[in-house]
Amino acid sequence: NAGVTQTPKFQVLKTGQSMTLQCAQDMNHEYMSWYRQDPGMGLRLIHYSVGAGITDQGEVPNGYNVSRSTTEDFPLRLLSAAPSQTSVYFCASRPDGLAGTDTQYFGPGTRLTVL
């Protein structure tokens, strides 16, 4: 199993550009989520999904869109990039989001810089 994979590893954007961060998992996990990590702020939840076709907002959803058409994939879209979105983005998955008792697995991260 590859686990949770993310592409690209690094990305530089100009203000106003749009892009999609890709995330995929091969563990048949129902629950997937996106976090951003900024110095001194820890990991903050952007969006999450409890299964295909179901998504919801986390703590910092503004400026980001998600969709979940398959169990495996959970892309994160930046509609109009801003310098405040410069961050490291982690995708994560776990078997079942409902019980709160499952191990959560993180992808390797995407380092995004917005100029």
Partner 1 sequence: QQPVQSPQAVILREGEDAVINCSSSKALYSVHWYRQKHGEAPVFLMILLKGGEQMRHEKISASFNEKKQQSSLYLTASQLSYSGTYFCGTYNDYKLSFGAGTTVTVRA
**Interface with partner 1 by CB under 8 A: which residues?**
31, 33, 35, 40-45, 48, 50, 56, 58-59, 90, 97-98, 100-101, 103-109
Buried b (16+ CB within 10 A) or exposed e, 51-79: ebeebeebebbeebebebeebbebbbebe
The radius of gyration of the chain from alpha carbons, rounded to an integer in Å, stands at 13
Q: 61 vs 75, which CB is nearer to partner 1?
A: 61
Measure CA of the first residue to CA of the last residue in the chain; give whole Å.
36
Least distance between partner 1 and beta carbon 110 (Å): 11
CA atoms within 13 A on the CB side of 7: 3
Q: How far is the CB of 85 from partner 1 (least distance, A)?
A: 19
State in angstroms the smallest separation of the CB of 43 from partner 1: 4
Looking at the Cβ atoms of 55 and 85, the one nearer to partner 1 is: 55
Cβ-based nearer residue to partner 1, 47 or 78: 47
Pick 30 or 73: Cβ nearer partner 1? 30
Least gap, CB of 60 to partner 1 (angstroms): 10
Q: 10-13 and 110-114: which strand pairing?
A: parallel
